[in-house]
């Protein structure tokens, strides 16, 4: 009883944003800028050999040279095409299988055990087998991206379907909605948030698999650019390629987050309360 009274007398816990002490945006970028400055100074002093890691100034110069020559755009276009086609195929397959398993007991018994078995396979280890099946062209690279992006969206969408409140489904039946209408207006909107989270995971898996696939029997793409730079000890070009991968991953994740805010604006947890 005394503990309960003591807890009742405690002031309520309020979550407030951290104070920036007037620094604003500079407070967020100060440490990265300081790290880059130390990196540059270490390279100029000879503490960081160029064969191990190029200086930031050399990396910017390499980025500018690749941009002006058009090589960066050419390789970037190839990589975006591969990841886009593979991601669309993987997500489409994952969504269809999740619907079959989540909405059908027969599908649950027939499909889900196979998906759980395949999910445990290291998809990067599938590369030699995909080369044997599809050759050394574009198809194994796209297939690897598709295989990597299937399972995150499948697992999250399936979990979202199974977590829909049964009372909502029962209420929809009372109002006379048919099976397809219940799926469209109740189940799919309820599972949309987990599905978008799965899409973000699928994007990360797609970029990771692309890095590996473009380093095997490729003559174009950002991964090929990195491997070619490795042979000539061009660490500046290697870092440029890695930065391109990172920026593309952040950009695609930001796109999905924007879609999430718009598609789930009806959910109170998604709407921002801050002005």
Residue 177 lies in a domain: yes
Q: How far apart are CA 42 and CA 138, in angstroms?
A: 41
Residue 1 lies in a domain: no
Residue 15 lies in a domain: no
Tokens of 124: 């990067």
Quote the pLDDT of residue 211.
Answer: 83
Residue 26 lies in a domain: no
- The tens digit of pLDDT for each residue in 220-273 reads 888 888 888 888 888 889 999 888 988 888 888 888 888 878 877 766 654 444
Residue 132 lies in a domain: yes
Q: How far apart are CA 176 and CA 253, in angstroms?
A: 39
The total of structural domains in the chain comes to: 1
Domain of 223: which CATH number?
1.10.3720.10
Quote the pLDDT of residue 155.
Answer: 93
Quote the pLDDT of residue 131.
Answer: 81
Residues 226/246, Cβ–Cβ less than 8 Å? no
Quote the pLDDT of residue 27.
Answer: 60
Range of the domain at 86: 56-263
Q: How far apart are CA 20 and CA 18, in angstroms?
A: 6
Residue 173 lies in a domain: yes
Residue 68 lies in a domain: yes
Based on its alpha-carbon atoms, the radius of gyration of the chain, rounded to whole angstroms, reads 25
The ranges of the chain with pLDDT < 50 are 1-8, 13-17, 20-22, 270-275
Quote the pLDDT of residue 15.
Answer: 45
Q: Could you tell me which of 81, 35, 83 has the C-alpha nearest to residue 203? A: 83
Q: Position of tokens 């990196």? A: 39
Residue 234 lies in a domain: yes
Query: Residue by residue, what is the 3-state secondary structure of the chain?
Result: CHHHHHHHHCCCCCCCCCCCCCCCHHHHHHHHHHHHHHHHHHHHCCCCCCCCCCCHHHHHHHHHHHHHHCHHHHHHHHHHHHHHHHHHHHHHHHHHHHHHHHHCHHHHHHCHHHHHHHHCCCHHHHHHHHHHHHCCCHHHHHHHHHHHHHHHHHHHHHHHHHCCCHHHHHHHHHCCCCHHHHHHHHHHHHHHHHHHHHHHHHHHHHHHHHHHHCCCCCCCCHHHHHHHHHHCCCHHHHHHHHHHHHHHHHHHHHHHHHHHHHHCCCCCCCCCCCC
Quote the pLDDT of residue 23.
Answer: 53
Tokens of 270: 């998604």
Quote the pLDDT of residue 105.
Answer: 86
177 exposure class (CB count in 10 Å sphere: 0-12, 13-18, 19+): middle
């Amino acid at each position: 009883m005394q503990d309960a009274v003591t807890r009742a007398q405690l002031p309520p816990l309020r979550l407030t944003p951290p104070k920036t002490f007037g620094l604003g945006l500079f407070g967020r970028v100060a440490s990265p800028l300081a790290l880059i400055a130390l990196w540059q100074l270490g390279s100029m002093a000879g503490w960081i050999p160029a064969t191990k890691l190029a200086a930031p100034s050399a990396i910017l110069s390499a980025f500018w040279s690749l941009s002006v020559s058009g090589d960066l755009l050419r390789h970037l276009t190839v990589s975006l095409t591969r990841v886009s086609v593979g991601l669309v195929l993987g997500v489409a397959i994952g969504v269809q299988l999740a619907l079959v398993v989540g909405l059908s007991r027969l599908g649950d018994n027939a499909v889900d055990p196979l998906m759980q078995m395949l999910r445990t396979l290291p998809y990067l280890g599938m590369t030699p087998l995909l080369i044997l099946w599809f050759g050394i062209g574009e198809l194994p690279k796209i297939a690897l991206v598709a295989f990597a992006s299937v399972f995150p969206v499948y697992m999250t969408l399936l979990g979202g379907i199974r977590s829909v409140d049964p009372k909502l489904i029962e209420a929809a039946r009372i109002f006379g909605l048919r099976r397809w209408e219940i799926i469209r207006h109740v189940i799919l909107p309820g599972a949309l948030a987990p599905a978008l989270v799965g899409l973000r995971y699928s994007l990360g898996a797609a970029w990771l698999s692309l890095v590996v696939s473009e380093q095997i029997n490729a003559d174009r793409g950002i991964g090929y650019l990195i491997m070619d730079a490795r042979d000539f000890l061009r660490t500046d070009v290697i870092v440029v390629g890695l930065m391109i991968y990172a920026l593309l991953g952040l950009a695609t994740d930001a796109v999905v987050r924007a879609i999430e805010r718009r598609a789930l604006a009806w959910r109170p947890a998604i709407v921002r309360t801050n002005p």
